Structure 1
Amino acid sequence: MVESWVIDDGGSVPVSSGTVREILRTRIAGGRFESWLTGSSGRSLAFVTNGDRALVMLLRDADDPGEHAVDPDAEGSSDGFVLSNGQRDAYGDKDTVPLGEAFRIVEHVLGTGSWPADVRREVDR
């Protein structure tokens, strides 16, 4: 069975790999830079952006530190990652990916249940 996903904001409408990019873009345009998607298997997918780069994390369950996509050749850091509680974070660019790549990763995870084969990631477990 393919895992189904919903935006974890009280909604119950499934989000597909074909619609998630536009949904995330709409949320960003509305000032919501942090999005959590919950899978029917109990996994969570976090997406936090500053509009240029995004942190993408996949967690097995609520207690899992997870794993996140990395850009190992990136240098420096970026700020402006606004969390839903209003906190503004900065992350090393190595721990984030360009926004277009983040959308591709999220689409792939929702469509297949796994990371794209070519995406580098760091396991935080």
Structure 2
Amino acid sequence: MTISQSVSPHALPGPEDIIRTVLPNGITVLIWTNQTSPSVAFSGFLPAGSVFDPREKLGLAGFTAAGLMRGTAQRSFQQIYDDQETAGASLGFGASTHTIGFGGRSLAEDLPMMLKLLAECLRQPTFPPEQVDRLRSQAM
């Protein structure tokens, strides 16, 4: 049996199933709804990868991505992880050559909380000194 035989053509999204909208701030959002699943997944990318690192600070994009969830103006490192654990959700950041990416999963009912957490991490990271020191020691 081939993959094409085992998967109904209606089970996979096609272009007609994807909603595309551009927000006022220029962010393009693509949405595909699967009514059979109670969970959601989201991901995105920002043009801030290692290609933008200054020569004297190689690794800055990766270090920054790793530090985004170490504390925000509203939540400590521990609160960020406790909130995810309580919801059975996950959020993460990573850097590549051209982008810093993020991705998360949660139950649909927890999506507002997860998007708020994502926004805090992107817009209000605090990079607490003790967490920066931990990241430095882990990187070495």
Q: Name the one with the larger helix percent.
A: 2
Larger-Rg structure: 2
Same fold (TM over 0.5): no
Q: TM-score, normalised by structure 1?
A: 0.30
